[in-house]
Amino acid sequence: MIETEKIIEAILIGDDDKVKVLTLEEINKGERAGEIMREGLIAGMTKVGEQMEAEEMFIPEVLMSARAMSAGVEVLKPHLKTEDAAVRGKVVIGTVEGDLHDIGKNLVKMLIEGAGFEVIDLGTNVEKDRFIKAVQENNADILGMSALLTTTMPSMQVIIEALKKAGIRDQVKIIVGGAPVTEEYAQEIGADAYGPDAGSAVRVINSIL
Amino acid sequence: MAYIRSNQQSFNSPHAAKMSEGQCQRLYWACLEILERTGVCLYNQEAIDLLDKAGASVTDGNRVRIPAGMVEKAFSTVPKNVALYNRNGQRKIQAGGHRSYFGTGSDCLNIIDHRTGERRLAVLQDIVDGMKVCDALDNIDFVMCMFLPSDVPQDILDRYEMEAMLNHTIKPIFYVTTEFAGCKAAVEMAEIVAGGADALRHYPFAACYINVTTGLRHNEEALQKLLFLSEKGLPFTYIPSAQGGVTAPITIAGTMAVNNAGVLAGLVISQLKREGTPFIMPGWGGNMLDMKTTVQPYADPEKRSQAIDFSHFLGLPTFSLGGCSESKMVDQQAAAEAALTLFTDALFGGNLVHDVGYLESGMSGSLPQLVICDEVISWIEAFMHEVVITDETLALDLIDEVGPDGQYLDNPHTMKHFRDRWYPNLFERSNYDSWQKKGGKDLGTRATDVVEKIVNEHEPERLPDDIAKAVHEVVLKEL
Ligand code: B12
């Protein structure tokens, strides 16, 4: 029996040493790494996500928890079988062309990293071709785009159209966000999902994968 | 008998400060240290070259370290006051010192429609209505466009905003443009209205609101705008937005140091480009990110006042921030946050207090909220009056004449002075029955009535037809 409660608790309080010790103990007990990952670490981060969405946790605390989770993953890595890969997926993220707002995008990035994804951050003012190239080269599972200006929002649609043209639209799930972006707009431009804030971004990404 | 009274006219009026001179001095030194030691990253070659030539150190292509002496020199040429005129060339604003003026904010995506109470995307007509309301309200001294027009071509929406402001109010304008080209177009329009570049420089009635990525990273467009406007000698704000806990230390002092290092870097570049260029610094400091909601709060109590103190220490005019709220609607929170932020900015002496009428952290705006703020500003103005202690106001002869049993209601002295006292326009003082007779309306409803009346009846002074046409041609140029 994995002592999931203890691991979850350690993740919630962001104690990376404790998470490492607890994970190691489970391995030594002979528990399967994939299960420790799912029932302990990921379950812990899911709880963190819930608490954050309920505005019960502060961002720095969430990031501490994410760090604690990564510490656990490091311990598990050598023991993980290929089917329960340490990385849950690859995410390419960036703020669209003409837009320099990156505070929200950076928050989203840190939280999905914390949830166990590998994130390739293209930064701000990212033009169409760089998005497409990054999706192709990294064989990304998810493309995240951020826009904070009504004037730059339309580039998200342009990029989705370009992905279609390149014949790779179906290989990647697209999630969009940023203050002026809405659920309806996301649907209108043919994105797969919309995240109103960093807290929901992780949950939404999990739900579309 | 000689009438000798020492120090007679020395009135005191309300004022406040959060920071001592010593604290300001330390903050200033901190900014200078950051500029010399850490430096700033500039994404514009001309700005880098200007600093390089003047003695700054340039490494890695765009990392610029600015010696303190260059900052000190800039202070000897920058004006301590920025004057703004109205569209008709009348001097209306003298920003600097402890003088406060009030104006709207720009670019709210949504409007809380006063007719329906619903939140919807804003359109060009909302800017037109907004400008009419600003034009009519006594205590709104300058305008920003308030709303983002969703029904015009989006890549040139800033041209439409500028045109609507020029057409529907004569009050001084602060324009915002996403890109450099929009800034040039706005200046072109303003020059047409002023009657040429020289006329606009001598009687500036429009100034640019420039935002900068963070204190230590200055984006290309911000620097392009700064250089262009400096060359023309036109006023602008230079406002980096270092965010505590994200792009600067979470502490107020740390965020202020990073942000104002950026302000000083901009100041130096502007004065190198053209000595005497009017320069306006931010009047708020210590921006935070709400670590629970991830919103950047506009009405945050802790980011107020210290930047105003610092601006007085530096001797620069401020673009200040008040009359705004995080509330999603015109409600009790909106009124409370608007009133408190207006009050503190006026009390500390912020100069150009903008964002009046903002709701939802700048995502929506409301005309009734603006009307409520106008009343609050009127209240604050009355509060800020000094108490006049003179023979006339003490009225000792009168007191003696009337005696303990008399009354003052029909006395000429009362007739002469009762209008000196403040009366509300919008705030309700009637007794219960009279209030009910007037419809028993709450503040929001009364403010909505005022908006309706202004929008339907107020006719702002129009631009001459040929000028309006020439302005419109600038808008259409990019289509
Ligand atoms: C801070 C700020 C800036 C800073 C940005 C600093 C930086 N490094 O990012 C500076 C000062 C540089 C700036 C500049 C400008 N800004 Co600005 N800015 C803001 C402000 C006040 C807050 C934005 C912010 O950081 N919020 C905090 C973060 C955490 O929230 P967020 O970005 O919304 O992100 C959250 C969600 O949206 C979501 N999310 C975001 N991205 C993604 C992506 C995915 C995939 C997902 C799932 C979720 C997601 O999760 C995030 C975390 O919860 C907003 C007002 C507002 N209420 O949003 C205006 C605002 C966005 N800016 C505005 C304007 C006009 C400008 C300028 C044009 C002004 C100028 N001319 O100088 C420039 C444009 C520069 C450019 N080319 O991009 C307008 C936008 C108007 C419009 N056209 O749509 C706004 C709304 C303010 C206003 N009403 O005037 N700005």
Domain boundaries, chain B: 75-384, 391-420
Whether residue B155 and residue A151 make contact (CB cut-off 8 A), yes or no, is: yes
- The better pLDDT of the pair B448, A88 is held by B448
How close A100 gets to chain B, by Cα (Å)? 7
- Residue nearest (by alpha carbon) to ligand 1 atom 82: A149
Residue B245's CB: how many other CB atoms inside 10 A? Answer: 18
In percent, the amount of chain A with pLDDT more than 90 equals: 73
Kindly report the nearest CA distance between residue B421 and chain A, in angstroms. Answer: 45
pLDDT of the residue at B127: 98
Judged against a pLDDT cut of 60, whether residue A79 lies above it is answered with yes
State residue B117's pLDDT score.
95
- Give the tens place of pLDDT for each residue, B367-385: 999 999 999 999 999 999 8
Give residue A6's pLDDT: 95
User: Which residue's C-alpha comes closest to atom 9 of ligand 1?
Assistant: A101
Coil, strand or helix at B318? strand
Task: Report the residue of A150, A153, A200 to disrupt the B interface, i.e. the one with the largest count of B CBs within 10 Å.
Answer: A150
Contact between chains at B219 and A151 (C-beta distance less than 8 A): no
Question: What parts of chain B have a pLDDT lower than 50?
Answer: none
Q: What is the per-residue pLDDT across A125-174, written as a single tens digit (0 to 9) for each?
A: 999 999 999 999 999 999 999 999 999 999 999 999 999 999 999 999 99
Q: What is the mean pLDDT of residues A46-56?
A: 89
**Residue B98 is encoded by which pair of tokens?**
């402890």
Residue A150: its chain B contacts at CB < 8 A? 109, 148, 150, 154, 157
In a mutagenesis test of the B interface, which of A56, A59, A63 is the best target, namely the one with the most B β-carbons within 10 Å? A59
pLDDT reported for residue A184: 95
Which residue in B309, B241, B308, B229 sits closest to B269, CA to CA? B229
What pLDDT shows up at residue B268? Answer: 98
- By the 8 A CB rule, do A172 and A143 touch? yes
Give the 3-state secondary structure of residue A38: helix
Is there a contact between B214 and B261 (Cβ–Cβ < 8 Å)?
no
Pairing of strands B119-121, B110-112: antiparallel
Check residue A83 and give its pLDDT. 64
Taking the model in full, what pTM does it have? 0.93
Chain A residues closer than 8 Å to B219 by CB: 100
Counts of helices then strands in chain A (DSSP H, E): 10, 5
CB nearest to A104's CB, from B148, B155, B294: B294
CB A138 within 8 A of CB A90: yes
Say yes or no: domain B75-384 is CATH 3.40.50.1820. Answer: no
User: Which pLDDT value is given to residue B276?
Assistant: 96
- The shortest C-alpha distance from B79 to chain A (Å) reads 31
Domain ranges of chain A: 4-79, 90-208
Q: Look at the domain A90-208 and name its fold.
A: Rossmann fold (3.40.50)
| Ligand 1: centre distance to CA A30 (Å) | 49
Pocket test for ligand 1, best of A109, A135, A148 (most atoms within 8 A of CB): A148
Q: How confident is the model at residue A87 (pLDDT cuts 50, 70, 90)?
A: confident
The answer to whether B289 faces chain A, any CB pair under 8 Å, is yes
Position A84 pLDDT exceeds 70: no
Q: Which residue has better confidence, B12 or A26?
A: A26
Q: Both tokens of residue A133?
A: 């190239």
Task: Report the 3 state secondary structure along B146-164.
Answer: CECCCCCCHHHHHHHHHHH
The topology (CATH level 3) of A4-79 is 1.10.1240
B181 vs A: CB within 8 A: no
Q: Please name the residue whose Cα sits nearest to atom 31 of ligand 1.
A: A104
Q: Residue B270 and residue B266: Cα distance in Å, rounded? A: 6
